[in-house]
A and B are shown apart, each in its own frame.
Chain A
Amino acid sequence: DQQVKQNSPSLSVQEGRISILNCDYTNSMFDYFLWYKKYPAEGPTFLISISSIKDKNEDGRFTVFLNKSAKHLSLHIVPSQPGDSAVYFCAASDPSGGGADGLTFGKGTHLIIQP
């Protein structure tokens, strides 16, 4: 069963508008969340992260929101640019020692920015 879920396989947004990518998780032991961006034939690159003690983290055009009670996080990109077209992965970690030492990833959302 998927512990990190990205229910939208793809999302199309017009250039200049806001892109909102969603992620849900089921494991209440997750306490750190990351977003990675991936271009074809390249490895994922780190974008932004958030600790469970916060509900918002902002870095330039990118903002991540965390709703712990709903076990939901979202990535907002504003304004969206053509170079933002990529696959975005949501990832989570459980540092309690009860889970694996690696990140748990969602399946990804393919974001397409239309001119």
Chain B
Amino acid sequence: GAGVSQSPRYKVAKRGQDVALRCDPISGHVSLFWYQQALGQGPEFLTYFQNEAQLDKSGLPSDRFFAERPEGSVSTLKIQRTQQEDSAVYLCASSRVPGLASNEQFFGPGTRLTVL
């Protein structure tokens, strides 16, 4: 399809394991965002890429979280030494134009991460 896709859709990890979550944005979209949505909460901003450049990582909760977008298209969010509080849905969104977050963002279906 032409939308944002994410894989895997569901991931169960044991505490202490590393996980990698993938996002395929809409082709040609310059901006890519990662959000974390805990149960009963709204999405919370993690990090923002403009093409391959990570321009804002102010929302990453700890240095265990790392994101990359090496070729300016697919992005990977990596969480090292997962903890139970990392359990959440991780949403990826892309936008056609760079810069302002006010531009409409297209969201993927999310990856639900459960850390046991």
Contact = CB atoms under 8 A, between A and B. Distances in A.
B104 A49 contact: yes
B42 A34 contact: no
A95 B100 contact: yes
Interface residues of B, number: 29
Contacts of B91: 43-44
Interface stretch (A55-63, A64-72, A104-112): A104-112
A113 B34 CA distance: 31
A107 B101 contact: no
Contacts of B65: none
A107 B41 CA distance: 5
List the 3 closest pairs (A to B, CB-CB), nearest first.
Answer: A102-B45, A43-B107, A105-B42
Q: Which of B35, B48, B105, B109 has the most CB of A within 10 A?
A: B105
A42 B59 CA distance: 23
B108 interface: yes
Interface of B: 4, 33, 35, 40-48, 55-56, 58-59, 91, 93, 99-102, 104-110
Interface residues of A, number: 28
Interface string A18-44: 000000000000011010100001111
B42 A100 contact: no
B102 A101 contact: no
Interface of A: 4, 6, 31-32, 34, 36, 41-46, 49, 51, 89, 91, 93-95, 100-108
A49 B95 CA distance: 15
A105 B48 CA distance: 16
Given A100-B56, A100-B59, A104-B45, A46 B102 contact: no
A108 B101 CA distance: 19
A42 to B, nearest CB: 5
